[in-house]
Structures are given as C-alpha cells and as structure tokens.
Amino acid sequence: MSLNLTQLIEQGVAGKRVLVRSDLNVPLEGTTITDDGRIRASVPTIKELADAGAKVVVVAHLGRPKGEPDPQYSLAPVAKRLGELIGAEVAFATDTVGESAHAVVDALGDGQVALLENVRFNAGETSDDDHERATFANELAGLADAFVSDGFGVVHRKQASVYDIALVLPSAQGGLVAGEIDVLKRLTESPERPYVVVLGGSKVSDKLGVIDNLLDKADKLLIGGGMVFTFLKAQGNEVGQSLLEEDQILTVLGYLERAEEIGVELLLPTDVVVADSFGDEESARVVPANAIPAESLGLDIGPESAQAYAAALEGAQTVFWNGPMGVFEKPAFAEGTRAIAEAITTVEGLTVIGGGDSAAAIRQLGFADDQFGHISTGGGASLEYLEGKTLPGVAVLEAATGADGLI
C-alpha cells in the first residue's frame, strides 16, 4: 500500500522540501487562462502541505513543447493564478532544474510555494529512453526531500516527473489522485444500480477499451457524438458525410450483438442534427438517424434522442459520462450535450464526468462543477483505468523502494 498524504504529513514535513507533481495543463488564449479547473483541483494538496510547514515545490507541464523552452507554453500565467487561489505568492522558476530552480527553491521559507517552469521544456521528461528520464528525475530529486504524486491527468504516462521520480524519493499519493482512484473503483468494482454509461466524442476507436470493459458492468450504454455514426453504419444505415471509422464497423457490430445477448440496453439516436458542412449552423436541421442525406454530416444527436437519453438517466444510481454528444462549441449543435448534462444534474446517485471535453462542455454551457458528483481532472487517465489498464504513475507508488521510506 502506498503512502498517502496524511501519512506523509504525520511523518513531519515542516522545513522539508516536498516536490508535488500537479496537473496544471490548462487551456490558454495568449496568456489568459480560459478554464482554471485543473489549477483549482490542485490547490487542496498544495495548501495542506504548505499549512503543515513544508517548502512546496510544484512541477507540471503545459501543452506539448518539443523538449526545449517555448514561450507559448510557459507556466508563468499559471503561477500567478495558483497564487491567487492559495492566497499567497507563488515563486516562479524560469527553468526546470537549472540556476533559477535551485535559487527559487533555496529561497523558500517554511509553508511557502514555488512552481518550476514547464517540465516538458526538458527532453528527459517524456523520453522513451529510461536512462534519459532517470537522469532528469534525479535532477528534480535534487530539489526535494520527498515526492507527492497529485497530477491525475498524467498518471497514465511513464514520464520522469510522474514515474521515475518515485523510484528516487520517498513518495506518497496526493489527495486528488487518491480521490480520483476511489471514484473509479466505485465505477468498476461495485457500482450501485442502475448504472448508466454515456459515451460520446469523435472517434469510437478512442473508446473501444472502455466499451469492452464496461459493457458487462453497465445496465445501459448511451452512445452519442461522432462515434455514433460507426454504430449506425454497422446497423446498415447510410451516414452521408458524417465521421465514420470503416475499420471499426465489425467491432461495433460485435458490441451491438453482445449487448443484446447479455441484456444491456445500448441506446443509439433515432434523430440527428445535420448540416451541409462542419460548423455550418445556418444549414442545421433535424433528420431521422436512418435517413441522413448523402451530402450532409451529423453534428449532434437530435431532440427526440436527447429526450430519450434523459429519460434513460432517470432513476440511475451511478452515471459515468465521457464525451460530448455533438459539436458543443457551436450553439446549433450543443443541445444534445446540454440535455445530457441537465439530466445528469438531477440524478441522486454518483455522477462522474470523465474529464477532457466533457468537463469543458459543461462549463461552457453554464453548468457549475458542484452540480455533479465528481469531475475528473484526467480524461485519458480515467479512460485507461476504466479499460482495465495499469496506470504507471499509480503502480510505481506501490512498488517503488522509496515509497515507504521516511523523509
């Protein structure tokens, strides 16, 4: 069993340098943060350590720089927002393990917080070479006495600041990661029933593992988004210019047959909103799902389907939703996603929004985070867990020799 945050703090962190891997990968327009959800989710663990007197050194990434500094991916705006949220200035290092990082960390007082520049500015962070990753992890370890893994959005990655660092320092699982894993266990090990899974998004290939693993666990599976057209095609329908993964039709057909055999209700839309081209709101119109015009493409589930899906969610005791029902960024194609979100807010049982586009959609459509039971900070990590995969950043805390060492 890995060390948890409370146990680490009980060992005494006052005056100790604690490196916290957070997920601060937020969307930016220039230097303006458009959704600070991940920063807000990281605050409790950081504050708990700071309140206990630790010198907190936060590491994180932003975007996908190519292993070298790139100003557009600087974490400087994030440092400012993090400071606002914790109510104290956050010192910012302009490099990852260089002179600035060492100077900033050395200057920290007990209970103070620093953020290092984007760890992906160092090629060792994401390297496929074990030695290169380990070298960078050791450099990071030189800045700390202990490590706390609290970036759930990256625990499915075998990266230096996620995996290798836990092999070097005494390590613990942060509160955010522990909370995410607890919720995912409830979805996979002992869900209260009825259990409804709602899957959307563009590609069915992104969700194959989840469908395969949850089909036997769920009572109902509601399908929307671009992935729905591969299902409709598998049923023999024409889908016009809609997104279609021809190579997945036989797989999808197998899921339809399996759902029928085991008695799982798999719902597909009976109507869809189509347009003449992607994002062309003026040409938006509703057509039957089995009569999509050859020149059109589907961009949302239709109102009849949205009503049926909302009805299917009534009385659910467990709901997992990952992926919007349509192109929610455009008002003409957002109503299916809005209807699902609205229906989920009325569910009295456990409701889990699977991060990524789903979380962005509910916020853009005006819903508050507290209208849902749990909003995951890691869409990819959530999906891999629900597929039954091992998450390297979680598994290493169990196996690392440093995990049960004292700081």
Q: Are residues 168 and 203 in the same domain?
A: no
201 is in an annotated binding site: no
Yes or no: say if 42 and 180 are a contact pair by the CB < 8 Å rule: no
Q: 58 and 172 share a domain?
A: yes
Instruction: Give me the pLDDT at residue 170, please.
Output: 95
CB distance 142 to 168 below 8 Å? no
Total number of domains in the chain:
2
11 is a domain residue: yes
236 among annotated binding-site residues: no
Q: Using the predicted structure, report yes or no on whether residue 326 has a pLDDT greater than 70.
A: yes
Q: What is the CATH number of the domain that holds 164?
A: 3.40.50.1260
pLDDT in tens, 345-387: 999 999 999 877 888 899 999 999 999 999 998 888 998 999 9
Region of 279 please: left (phi>0), alpha (psi -120 to 50) or beta: left
Q: Once rounded to an integer, what is the mean pLDDT over residues 132-159?
A: 97
- Residue 402: pLDDT band (50, 70, 90) is very low
Three-class SS of residue 29? Answer: strand
Pairing of strands 17-21, 3-4: unpaired
Average of per-residue pLDDT across 334-347: 97
- State mean pLDDT over 216-242: 96
Neighbours of 266 (CB within 10 A): 18
Domain shared by 311 and 259, yes or no: yes
Q: How far is it, in rounded angstroms, from Cα 340 to Cα 307?
A: 9
Is 369 assigned to a binding site?
A: no
Q: What is the pTM of this model?
A: 0.89
Amino acid at site 278:
F
pLDDT at 4 (0 to 100): 92
Point out the residues that are catalytic.
38, 203, 356, 380
Do 150 and 202 reside in the same domain of the chain?
Answer: no
| Co-location of 17 and 61 in the same domain | yes
For residues 265, 291, 252, 260, the Cα torsion angle rounded to the nearest 10 degrees is 30
Q: Is the pLDDT of residue 404 over 70?
A: no
Q: Residue 161: give the domain boundaries.
A: 5-177+390-401
Cα–Cα nearest to 251, from 215, 220, 284, 225: 215
Q: What is the pLDDT of residue 378?
A: 85
Residue 170 counted as domain residue: yes
Range with the poorest average pLDDT among 105-109, 119-123, 351-355: 351-355
User: Quick check: 241 pLDDT over 70?
Assistant: yes
The single residue listed with the structure tokens 């799902």 is 289
Region class of 320: left (phi > 0), else alpha (psi between -120 and 50), else beta: beta
3-state secondary structure of 147: strand
Kindly report, residue by residue over 184-213, the tens digit of the pLDDT: 999 999 899 999 999 999 888 889 889 999
387 is in an annotated binding site: no
Q: Which two tokens stand for residue 354?
A: 């699977």
Residue 356 among known ligand-binding residues: yes
**Does the pLDDT value for residue 1 go beyond 80?**
no
Residue 257 domain-assigned?
Answer: yes
Share of the chain above pLDDT 90, in %: 90
Q: What is the average pLDDT value for the chain, to the nearest integer?
A: 94
Question: Which pLDDT does position 400 carry in this prediction?
Answer: 59
Q: What is the CA radius of gyration of the chain?
A: 23
Residue 43 lies in a domain: yes
DSSP-based three-state secondary structure for 250: helix
Looking at residue 279, what is its pLDDT?
Answer: 83
Residue 403 is predicted with a pLDDT of: 42
| Residue 187 in marked binding region | no
Whether residues 158 and 220 fall in one domain: no
DSSP, residue by residue, 43-74: HHHHHHHHHTT-EEEEE---S---SS--GGG-
The verdict on 131 and 212 lying in the same domain is: no
Clarify whether residues 288 and 204 are in a common domain.
yes
CB 319 within 8 A of CB 351: yes
Does the structure show a pLDDT above 80 at 407? Answer: no
Question: Has residue 293 got a pLDDT over 80?
Answer: yes
The DSSP letter of residue 262 is H
Which of 32-36, 271-275, 395-399 has the highest mean predicted lDDT (pLDDT)? 271-275
